Amino acid sequence: MSTTSSLPRKRRTIVWSSAVRRVPRPGERRGSGAGGSFRRNDGGASRRATRTGALASFCVVLALAFPACRSRPRETLVTYFNSEIGISLRYPASWRTMQATQEDVWYRNFLAPPAGPASKPAVSVTLFVGPLGDGFESQARVYLSDNAVSRAEDDVRPGLAGKRYEFANPKENMRHSLLLWRVENAEKLIGLYSQGEASFFERNVLVLDEIARSLALERPAEYPRHSNARLRFALGVPSSWRQARRFKSGGTHLEQWTSPALAAERNRQTVHASLTVCVEDIGGQGTLDTFYRSTRDKLGDQHRLVRHVAWRDGWMDVMRIETPMAVSYVKRYYRVADGRGYSLILEARADVYDAVAGWCDLIASTLKIGDEVTHAAS
């Protein structure tokens, strides 16, 4: 488990206001005195001031034309994952999130911090999943109603095909965005609906776009495959998980990945989980039971066993680790093939473990060892 500082990539933001305030009067230049005074300058100073004034005027025009650039917040994004639906997206860590189900439709709401005199969420985003019914066109009509549509375009991404709409309700001073997708090979509809007062929507439009872009189906069969022919294992890991290190010592081989940010501290440090593949030589006579007992002995009493169940042709344990600084959980899968013991290990802080444990189950379902690697390749 690691706690690192991670900020999403941002488009370059140009702030013109300070340039406007610091334009000198024609024929003057800023002095070097503590009071920032000006003194008369002969020669080209007047021409330079004229050019600077023209630039400042141009900057004012740009600032008025692109208000989002002036007020864009520097958001720390964290990842939401749902193992039952198999979907993930990123949203600002400062937002609240809650879940609901109505009839046969599942909802997850993401609410920005309160703003304005009414202290209501500045904007909200609702992720919903339900039956396809008559198709996303009929569902779209329910949302669009008589509103003025400013944008309608196709939106296609792996496993999803649909459409994006942007529309407004001038009477209520509201702006909206709606994305609807049909899930490939399933009679299922996924939607992402954003709304807010026009001014708040504009201030948050870049964040709303990032949330929409980040939505993805989690399909283990299509995860990037990491394999080792010599040690005869292969694992599918989501592209959002970053490979952190590889390590070999004696008869032990480790490969480790770091999850995307799952939570954030007040100081903006982000909280991550770690995922490790460990391959150990256990000899030709080694069995699953001897490998399991040996591993448990090495882990010691600090890894308190919470759950032990059969998993595929091996075992799966959940363990709790308590230290004076933190509490964390470890989910460890055990398998054996060709004189090697294979472990897949998830470690996460207690407050984010539930958010990532199901994701690890999906990743673990891709683990292939021994002859399975050869068969998968053919």
Q: Which residue has the tokens 């690192």?
A: 4
Residue type, 244: A
Residues of the chain below pLDDT 70: 1-73, 376-378
| Long-range contact pairs involving 119-124 (C-beta distance under 8 Å, separation at least 24) | 121/96, 121/196, 122/196, 122/197, 122/200, 122/203, 122/204, 123/194, 123/195, 123/196, 123/200, 123/201, 123/204, 123/208, 124/194, 124/195, 124/196
How many other C-beta atoms are found inside a 10 Å radius of the C-beta of residue 202? 15
CA gap 353, 265 in Å, rounded: 16
* pLDDT tens per residue, range 82-106: 998 999 999 999 999 999 998 899 9
Cβ atoms of 4 and 269 closer than 8 Å: yes
User: Which of 315, 314, 303, 252 lies closest to 282, judged by CA?
Assistant: 252
CATH 3.40.50.1110 fits 220-377, yes or no: no
The two tokens of residue 192 are 């992402």
Q: What is the DSSP letter of 119?
A: T
The secondary structure element, H or E, covering residue 343 is strand 340-349
Instruction: Indicate the pTM of the whole model.
Output: 0.77
Which value, to the nearest 10 degrees, does the dihedral of the CA atoms of residues 326, 264, 278, 235 take? Answer: 150
pLDDT at 378: 55
d(CA 147, CA 165): 11
| pLDDT score of 142 | 87
Return the half-sphere exposure (C-beta side, CA atoms, 13 A cut-off) of residue 1: 20
Q: What share of the chain is helix, strand, coil (3-state, %, to 5)?
A: 25, 45, 30
> What is d(CA 147, CA 149) in angstroms, rounded to the nearest whole number?
6
Q: What is the pLDDT of residues 210-248, one digit of tens each?
A: 999 999 999 999 999 999 999 999 999 999 999 999 999
> The tokens of 378 are what?
């053919």
Q: Over the Cα atoms of the chain, what is R_g?
A: 27
Render 275-313 in DSSP notation, one character per residue: EEEEEEE--TT--HHHHHHHHHHHH-TTSEEEEEEEETT
Which pLDDT does position 250 carry in this prediction?
86
Q: Which residue has the tokens 């989980």?
A: 273
Q: Are 77 and 93 spatial neighbours (Cβ–Cβ below 8 Å)?
A: yes
Helix (DSSP H) and strand (DSSP E) numbers for the chain: 9, 27
- CA gap 133, 358 in Å, rounded: 29
Are 321 and 329 spatial neighbours (Cβ–Cβ below 8 Å)? yes
User: CATH classification of 77-217, choosing from 1.10.10.10, 3.40.50.10490, 3.40.1000.10, 3.90.1150.10?
Assistant: 3.40.1000.10
User: In this prediction, what percent of the chain has a pLDDT beyond 90?
Assistant: 67
Domain map (residue ranges) of the chain: 13-71, 77-217, 220-377
Count of Cβ atoms closer than 10 Å to residue 40 Cβ:
8
Cβ atoms of 310 and 252 closer than 8 Å: no
Pairing of strands 233-236, 368-369: antiparallel
- Whether 77-217 shares its CATH topology with 220-377 is answered yes
Identify the CA nearest to 261 among candidates 5, 76, 78, 1: 78
Task: Report which residue type is found at 175.
Answer: R
